[in-house]
Copies of this chain bind each other. A is one copy, B any other.
């Protein structure tokens, strides 16, 4: 937007579209909550995600490139195809949100967090209180540590518009 179309009132907003990558946990609907609520709030955010279809993600390599008898190479081929998508999205994002859920090791999520941190991306972490100690190094590299998808949306709203949640605004 050129300056001639913008009143000084509008300067309150950052006049930018944020690119946000939603990494990690793929077994709950946290991404849907964020995307829907950010949409309801009219935030100018482009959300990106890894392939969240677990079966497709596991088997993409051998399905496209040919079967492997050894599980290691089966997984290897798939992981590399997924990396084409994942790394490009992290590299072109402004904010990388990493969610750690209750199940599985989720080393992949922690790897993405380290990758994003080394690239200087703004890192936001989402996890339950029970993982606090185990995630302390990742939390320490983050610009925000959250417990709910709603907090992610509030952060994005604040970053984009400078506005705090209505019910909680300082008097």
Contacts and interface: CB of A to CB of B under 8 A. Distances in A.
A72 B7 CA distance: 36
Interface in A18-66: 18, 29, 31-32, 35-36, 38-40, 42-49, 51-53, 55-61, 63-65
Contact of A6 (B47, B51, B59, B159): B47
Q: Which range holds the interface residue count of chain A?
A: 35 or more
A151 B49 CA distance: 23
A127 to B, nearest CB: 10
A165 interface: yes
B76 A143 contact: no
A16 B58 CA distance: 22
Number of copies of chain A assembled together: 8
Contact of A51 (B40, B63, B143, B162): B162
Contacts of A132: 71-72, 75
A73 B73 contact: yes
Given A111-B137, A114-B115, A114-B117, 5 more contacts: A11-B31, A11-B49, A14-B85, A16-B89, A88-B122
A113 B40 CA distance: 36
A75 B141 CA distance: 12
Contacts of A109: 107, 110
Nearest to A163: B56
Interface string A115-127: 1111110101000
Nearest to A142: B80
Given A165-B64, A170-B55, A143 B4 contact: no
Given A1-B46, A76-B139, A120-B120, A159 B59 contact: no
